[in-house]
Amino acid sequence: MQVIDLLHTATRELAEAGVDGGDLDGQLLLGACLNKSRTELFLAADMEVPEEARRVFLRYLERRKRREPIAYILGEREFWSLPFIVNPSVLIPRPETEFLVEQVLAACRPRRGLHDGWILDLCCGSGAIAVVLALELQRDIVAVDISCDALAVAQQNCRRHKVDDRVALVKADLLTAFAAERRFSLLVSNPPYVSRRQLRQGLDPEVAGYEPLLALDGGEDGLDIIARIKEMLPVIMRPGGEVFIEIGAEQGPALLRMFAPSAGAAELVKTVEILKDYAGRDRVLHLLLSGYGR
């Protein structure tokens, strides 16, 4: 069969399976089988596809028809223009998290004070945030996750991008592994923040059927993990440190209340703001911590 025949097959069968964007999916899957870009595929439309590549493509196509994400099928996802290994042990990196990283980098570069303490990537998953921060800031990073399987993926990505000497991977339930020494000046996190209501109502099949629940479930209102992080901040964060946490698009008002002086955060937080993404949705909780009364 020719390239064009297989692409038409993918578009038709994915549409019949209820998968949106089947033409693009087919191009990505066949391109991976032939080691060709989408442009190269179009230029090679009349090329006969080798039998082994055809068989692999058809296996990939069957998996995609069952709504398995392409990133898991191919074992890779681009983030920050870099390739990252992914599997069902970790969330697939998303553009929303690139926005989180952008905000962190914008804050770090002009502020000398953040160079005085350690940097923490909490709930690190695939290690994408830790790797990018290590590369962009040329700093050592401590990356924490509760899942051994996720940390194994993060380790592969650190080695792939040659930052394994600068990223220390720690298995822990949030901040429980750290002594009360206030060593961190910057905390970055993409924690579980999907509410139980959203989980009950149903997520997209690609998410609900394949991505790890442990990395999604944020409790009844989606804020349980962030509330736990709040309690630990004065224990491990340096006075005047900064916190950047990815959040859900409707969680901004609740988080402003959580970190308001009336909620007991007067001595903890100097300023709190919700940063909106490029679509105008709440996306990042940013905290500037106080001097803790000193």
Residue ranges for the known binding site for substrate are 190-193
Inter-CA distances, 26 with 3, 31, 65, 85, Å: 10, 8, 11, 20
Binding-site entries: 145, 190-193
Where does residue 162 fall: left (phi above 0), alpha (psi -120 to 50 degrees), or beta otherwise? left
Binding-site entries for S-adenosyl-L-methionine: 145, 190
